[in-house]
Structure 1
Amino acid sequence: MGRIALLTCLAIGTAATSATEASAQSAPEQPKIHLAAAGVGFPYLPFVIASSRGYFRQQGLDVEIGVYSGGAKALQALLGGSADIVAGAYSNTITMAVNGQKIVSFVTQAVCPGFVFGVTRASHDKIKSYADLKGKRIGVSSPGSSFHMGVNYLLSRAGLKPDDVSIIGVGSSSGAIAAARSGQVDALMTNDPVATVLQDSGDLFPLAMMRNVKETQATLGGNYPEASIYATEKFIAKNPRTIQAIATAMVAAEKWIAQATPQQIADAVPPQYAIADKAVFVKAYSNMHQCLSQDGLMAQDAPKTVRSVLAAFDPAVAAANVDLTTTYDNSYVLRADKR
């Protein structure tokens, strides 16, 4: 009996040791993560939910979120070393590739931009088409952001150049609302819930909407993913378990969003990220929810559309030979379902 008891204890000890070693082998290499967010508009809801509902914590991550006034500044934080990952526009991976910087998107948050481009109340009678924008002031989250790139593309459709207008950085939340209502800008590229707030108050009159796949294809010529989670190729290669943990948490958040009611989602957004009251949030979410990814995957044809949009106004992108398959990696979200 004593020998049986000893063997049993040894077996239990061996199993416990194996479990501990297995846990260590799957634990994130870098559990403390600094995430730079380009904003907290609806295309970025998945990372907000992954944080608020504890999906990051469940994967052994402690994610510190810094919200910036636009994608260009969030990207600067990554390149400057103060952020590990970015919740920002997928298009940045292409523009950086043109400049020799290897940035890789590994989770898609929004399969369409959710953009609304409109004319403000003060200029409503003066601007009826893209061509009328020449010489006007256009608000974007920040110069160089995906909002700015979207404006440049719409200008190109009217034969205008980027320097035919004045670009003003107004942020992507309360600052954008104030700029539109005060007459600081003649037109504004924004997303929800800001767009819904301004439309409902009669302060924004849309010229283009990209709140679903059909509208996006009509405006931009194809599938156009907007928000993603990206990092440098070097960071991903060095921290594969960390990247996997982030992807798994993000996919869990996206799946929860897909089955939740608008009210449940509104209730799950922390007060510091709420840029509209819950009634407005629910309406705005209903306006653009089709843009949110449900699985984190990058569609195979989508990167080509993004490059075409960028090339329409950026000669450097048009001339560059970028291997688009190096700008994204679906393998982490594909493995998320198996964990």
Structure 2
Amino acid sequence: MKKIGLIHSFLAPLALCSGLITIPAHADTQVVRYQEYPGSILHLSNWVMREKGFCKKQGLDCQPIMLANGPLAQQAAAAGSVDLIVSSMDVMLQAVAKGNDLMVIGPLVKNNIYSLSVGAKVERPNAAKGYPENMKDLANKRIGVTARGSGTEMYVKSLMRGAGVPLDNVTFIGVGAPSSAYASLVANQVDAILSWDPIPAICNATKQCSVAVDMRKGEGPDVVKAMNGGFVVWQARREYVQKHGAVIDKFMVAQKEAFDWLKDPKNFEEAKTLATERFKLGDVPNRDKVVNQVVHDMIGQYDTTLNPQVVDGFNQFLLSNKLIAKPVDKTNLIYKSKNAS
């Protein structure tokens, strides 16, 4: 997608542009400018941080900077126009391999965000067997990915290889972000799609498709599972980290407080309101049911723990797909708070 550039259209009208707009801070607060993907449900916790006062409580003026994909955010960080950026770790490690001196400063989403969904018209004699057996049903089929050569195509190939299903006659078709991917699936232009939220919720609500492999829940081959434990992460340039460790610590505390607020069931309806004010779902059937599931699923994906070994899993995935020439050195790659025990 380039991955979290990942999280487009439904997950964002995530797409197109964004301005680097900042707001003056009060003298007694510290400004932190962080990336958001426009309209993405991924940032529900950020909306809570601001709206429920968790940033203010930490003495922060949290200023979102709208940037539509990971590489664009990396460029903005290098130029000094944004402080904190976010993407799946594979996008980050490819940038580090090319000399962009980024550090992981903390987790946002623990596990893989992708799922493989199959159209209702596709014959699936192995559907009930689950992964890896159900991948046999996709031999010789047309599979939609965000774009040819994208990370989503790499994930499909990993799923197929892990199941021992030959790729010889699989046809990959670029179908874009979730909104256009779903449209292609329903129009029978493809047999399956590798995409992300809210596709699982839409499949569940409409019955036009079903999820065959839900990597959010730890399904898939070992090479994919090895990337769980720190899939979507916050990052910053090393020079920023060295100068602003206290700001980073406060930001991560505010995020944890937002997570805790979201995970309290009594706040779910208010969380839905915050989400629907900013997350543009578009015209989908059973809208309320879809919104409920998308918000519920997003809350469940947030996590404050980061397993350092996940870097090894991402390195192996990138190497196996020839996206990097050698493993990225994980020494000093992950920020360690001075307040950590």
TM-score normalised by length of structure 2: 0.71
Deviation at 1:125, TM superposition (A): 6.3
Preserved contact between residue 93 and residue 103 of structure 1 (Cα < 8 Å): yes
More helix by share: 1
Question: Structure 1 216/41 Cα, relative in aligned 2: closer, same or farther at 3 Å?
Answer: farther
Which of the residues 294, 299, 316 maps onto 2:307?
A: 299
Deviation at 1:88, TM superposition (A): 1.6
User: Within the alignment, does 1:205 sit opposite 2:215 as a pair?
Assistant: no
In structure 2, what is the equivalent of residue 95 of structure 1? Answer: 94
The gaps in structure 2 that reach 5 residues or longer are 1-25, 127-133
Identity %, equivalent residues: 15
1:161-240 aligned at under 5 Å gives the runs: 165-168=171-174, 170-172=176-178, 174-212=179-217, 214-215=218-219, 220-222=224-226, 224=228, 225-240=230-245
User: Within the alignment, does 1:63 sit opposite 2:63 as a pair?
Assistant: yes
Note the alpha carbon deviations across 1:96-118, whole angstroms, 9 max, x for none: 22222222221211111232112
Which of the residues 321, 325, 328 maps onto 1:322?
A: 328
Q: Secondary structure at the match of 2:236?
A: strand
Q: Which moved more, 1:159-168 or 1:259-268?
A: 159-168
Deviation at 1:211, TM superposition (A): 2.7
Preserved contact between residue 145 and residue 175 of structure 2 (Cα < 8 Å): yes
Deviation at 1:146, TM superposition (A): 5.3
Note the alpha carbon deviations across 1:245-283, whole angstroms, 9 max, x for none: 322222221222233454342133251225374432223
Question: Structure 1 35/221 Cα, relative in aligned 2: closer, same or farther at 3 Å?
Answer: closer
Deviation at 1:89, TM superposition (A): 0.9
Q: Which moved more, 1:299-308 or 1:121-130?
A: 121-130
Question: Structure 1 105/278 Cα, relative in aligned 2: closer, same or farther at 3 Å?
Answer: farther
Q: Secondary structure at the match of 1:117?
A: strand
TM-score normalised by length of structure 1: 0.71
> RMSD across aligned C-alpha pairs, in angstroms?
3.8
The gaps in structure 1 that reach 5 residues or longer are 1-22
Note the alpha carbon deviations across 1:299-329, whole angstroms, 9 max, x for none: 1322222222323322x53x41422243322
Q: Secondary structure at the match of 1:129?
A: helix
Larger radius of gyration: 1
Work out the CA distance in 2 between the residues paired with 1:182 and 1:308.
36
Work out the CA distance in 2 between the residues paired with 1:48 and 1:123.
39
User: Within the alignment, does 1:279 sit opposite 2:283 as a pair?
Assistant: no
Aligned length: 301
User: Within the alignment, does 1:263 sit opposite 2:261 as a pair?
Assistant: no
Work out the CA distance in 1 between the residues paired with 2:73 and 2:149.
11
Deviation at 1:148, TM superposition (A): 4.7
The residue identity in structure 2 corresponding to 1:300 is: P
Deviation at 1:165, TM superposition (A): 4.5
Preserved contact between residue 87 and residue 234 of structure 2 (Cα < 8 Å): yes
Deviation at 1:291, TM superposition (A): 2.8
1:46-57 aligned at under 5 Å gives the runs: 46-57=45-56
1:125-140 aligned at under 5 Å gives the runs: 129=135, 132=138, 136-140=142-146
